[in-house]
Structure 1
Amino acid sequence: MSVQPKELFGPEFIRDPYPTYAWLREHDPVHRFLLPQGMPAWLVSRHDDVRAWLADPRLAKDLERFLPPDALPGDHVRDVLTKNMLASDPPRHTRLRRLASKAFTARRVQSLRPHITSLADELLDGMGDEGTTDLIDTLGLLPITVIYELLGVPRRDWEAFRAWSVLGSDEQSTGSEDFETSTKSLKEYTQALIADKRVTPGEDLLSDLIVARDEGDALSDDELVAMVFLLLLGGQETSISLIGATVYHLLGHPEQLALLRAEPERLPSAIEEVLRFDGPAMNASMRFAVEDIEIGGVPIPAGGIVFLGLGSAGHDSAHVPDGDSFDIRRSASKHLAFGHGVHTCIGSALARLEGEIAIGRLLARYGELSLAVHPDDLKWRPGMHFRGPAELPVSYRVEPR
């Protein structure tokens, strides 16, 4: 039986949002609530509604068009948050994605497999044969290293770059002085990196983005900065959360872990099941009604803010039988973890590849793996968009041969 909903985005909800989502799908599938800033918004929770409206142009993404002028304080914040694909609508979105896609092909992603595997093995070597570690801090370095290398960030700058980008992706700090300071530093550093690569291009994604052309069109410097910010957000945080959530749910379902160890060829299906069951994006980024609309019979006025519940959609038993159960044997379902329509995540292939390699190498090396704290004591990422463990202490040991 579904339960009365917890406070949306409060501590209990952040730890486990799915009972609340179940109640909303049954009783209030287009739920009106207030954002922390006091503005009304609507949360859509049923799969079919979420999928349909992800691709409906009557919900727009342009932050500058719909948000009040003071909602994004500071020129630096406005630049990185409003000039990227995620906050754009066609035709600007179409142009940005077309140019980015030229440097982010499936062939390029697959060519990274040997190198990502080598990086994963290096990180596991550093963990040794047994011990206890926070996997978010150790194996979570894999997607960080991959995206920094892809962008061509010099290794000497990684620590500072990581500090700026972590704060820039922290929903709780948005609008704060620290957020603006870090965003300014990230923007200025990226501008200097772009200027350097215009003179001396390298074998990296940022260099490719700089020279990407489509009938004479190219990305401006401001658009390149915003693209870097978006790639950092997607290339680090979502992949780290996917790796953490996969380990967490496998350890919480020992029979599933045993099955995966016995049949490692199920690993791609296991990653897809985690994406459906507890993916790294709890809600799609906010959208705005361009006109008066109705979703599920609920009227939403023009300019109304709408959140499409990706996490809730994955548990909707009207689409996935027994959607609240975790089962890696499940046939690959068309989940919405990476979105749907023109805004489908451009980095989804890389996230899947990193998840498969990280989990595959971890399980191949450590025959003994367990959570080092009680599940109720884990901290989860706060906020309305990202989902995943903020920490994942595990104990591990190589089985004697």
Structure 2
Amino acid sequence: MTTPVQFTQEFWNNPHPVYARLRQEAPVHPVMLPNGFEVWLVTRYADCKAALTDPRLSKRQGAGDNARQLRTSTSTPLTKHLLAYDPPDHTRLRRLVSKAFTARRIEELRPRVEELSAALIEALRGRDDAELVEDYAVHLPIQVICELLGVPIEDQADFRRWTSVLVSASAGGPGVPEAAAAFLEYLLGLIERKRAAPAGDLLSALIATRDEGDRLNEDELTSMAFLLLLAGHETTMNLISNGMHTLLTHPEAHRRLREDPSLVPAAVEEFLRLESPVETATTRTATEPVTYGGVTIPAGSMVAISLLAADRDPERFREPGEFVLDRGDNQHLAFGHGIHYCLGAPLARLEAQIAFTDLLAAFPGMRLAVAPQEVVWRTGILIHGPAALPVTL
């Protein structure tokens, strides 16, 4: 590569040609992010999968560009969560939290998720058009995670604003310290109220959780609530938006899915592979020199693992740039791999399957209201999804 990656709006709108070139010519390549952090970007599937489980890449020393910026700018405790630790601390924290995300517990949420989706669909009936991100995709997961954690739904506008700032920090956006401080103050107050008057929600349960005498300390509790709120709606919002954008630009797949809803689970996995809602995993730091694809990354370097690039690697997937509705062997990395595999993956899958089933049934004639190239995508190397998705219903 003779020119560095240019993080322009053109890149955010369609990063796939750049990632394809990187995979072919420079699969492990240093890039300077707009926020000033230099990272080594890993783009091939095999290298990414290996890096996700490499103990020489530490989360503690490089807990991600957003988290590192939060820590250095605000000294906030919002970074003391699962994604910022290695074993044994990570093992301890995951053990304390994972009980809330068992397959049985998630499946019990199905009737309520279906009820919330039906209400959002009903609000759209009779309209000629909609902006699908704001009118549906964000509200389903945000209502689910608010109810699960016991967060007042009327507070969603505030923490949506804060999380939007924080996840775009890698794009050099302003306001990160202020958003972090405001979010921290909000969570501290919420936890204090839950401790005084516990309810049957997850946050109350996390406050009371014990495991052989162990418990979450105050910073861990605050940080875990932050992570669950952020990841609990940002990723699924983009999964729904990305999936609908894909369907509306692939008419034959759209038709097949409308006619055979039993294909929805497979379609969700293909949406995850083709347009991962998480563009790169939160960064790690090399504790010693590490080599991938014949390139040695020096000790102390920050490493970014591109899930979006990995899942379009032609060495791993046939027709990697195509939406293949009945794709077999779809072992994508959209939820990560190894000990940091996404704890909320079963919930994201449940919400997405309900969302696509309901949207396709309610609005079989839905189409984009603008040309595909006119859709503007969000900035930042962490999250991948359209900023808005105008549709004709």
- Give the TM bin, normalised by the shorter chain: over 0.9
SS at match of 1:19: helix
> Is structure 2 residue 146 aligned with structure 1 residue 148?
yes
Cα distance in structure 2, aligned partners of 1:126 and 1:323: 37
**Cα offset for 1:26?**
1.3
Cα distance in structure 2, aligned partners of 1:325 and 1:173: 28
SS at match of 2:134: coil
Partner of 1:298: 295
**Cα offset for 1:299?**
1.4
Listed as ranges, the matches of 1:234-383 within 5 Å are 234-383=231-380
SS at match of 2:387: coil
Q: Is the 8 A contact 2:282 2:304 kept in 1?
A: yes
Partner of 2:9: 11
Alignment CA distance shift 1:66-1:324 (3 Å) = closer
Cα distance in structure 1, aligned partners of 2:125 and 2:150: 29
SS at match of 2:198: coil
**Cα offset for 1:72?**
4.0
Stretch of structure 1 that moved more, 226-235 or 69-78 = 69-78
SS at match of 1:161: helix
Alignment CA distance shift 1:6-1:263 (3 Å) = farther
Stretch of structure 1 that moved more, 110-119 or 25-34 = 25-34
**Cα offset for 1:6?**
8.0
**Cα offset for 1:70?**
8.9
Partner of 2:93: 96
**Cα offset for 1:318?**
1.0
Give unpaired runs (5+ residues) of structure 1: 397-401
SS at match of 1:41: strand
Listed as ranges, the matches of 1:21-170 within 5 Å are 21-63=19-61, 71-72=69-70, 76=74, 78-80=76-78, 82-140=79-137, 141-170=139-168
Cα distance in structure 2, aligned partners of 1:295 and 1:241: 30
Cα distance in structure 2, aligned partners of 1:164 and 1:12: 25
**Cα offset for 1:215?**
0.9
Residue-by-residue CA offset, 1:232-275 (whole Å, 9 max, x unaligned): 22111110000001100001000001111111100000000010
Alignment CA distance shift 1:304-1:362 (3 Å) = same
**Cα offset for 1:166?**
3.0
**Cα offset for 1:77?**
5.4
Alignment CA distance shift 1:212-1:172 (3 Å) = same
SS at match of 1:136: helix
Alignment CA distance shift 1:393-1:145 (3 Å) = same
SS at match of 2:29: strand
> Is structure 2 residue 199 aligned with structure 1 residue 202?
yes
TM-score normalised over the length of structure 1:
0.92
SS at match of 1:326: coil
Alignment CA distance shift 1:77-1:257 (3 Å) = farther
Identity across aligned pairs (percent)?
Answer: 43
**Cα offset for 1:75?**
7.0
Stretch of structure 1 that moved more, 377-386 or 8-17 = 8-17
Aligned residues: 391
Q: CA RMSD in A?
A: 2.3
- The amino acid that maps onto 2:205 is D
Residue-by-residue CA offset, 1:284-305 (whole Å, 9 max, x unaligned): 1111101112111111111111
- The amino acid that maps onto 1:15 is N
Alignment CA distance shift 1:394-1:332 (3 Å) = farther
Cα distance in structure 2, aligned partners of 1:387 and 1:61: 22
SS at match of 2:240: helix
Residue-by-residue CA offset, 1:41-76 (whole Å, 9 max, x unaligned): 211111011001101101111147899x99546675
Give unpaired runs (5+ residues) of structure 2: none
Q: Is the 8 A contact 2:170 2:381 kept in 1?
A: no
Cα distance in structure 1, aligned partners of 2:2 and 2:141: 38
- The amino acid that maps onto 1:291 is E
**Cα offset for 1:170?**
3.0
**Cα offset for 1:373?**
0.8
Partner of 1:399: none
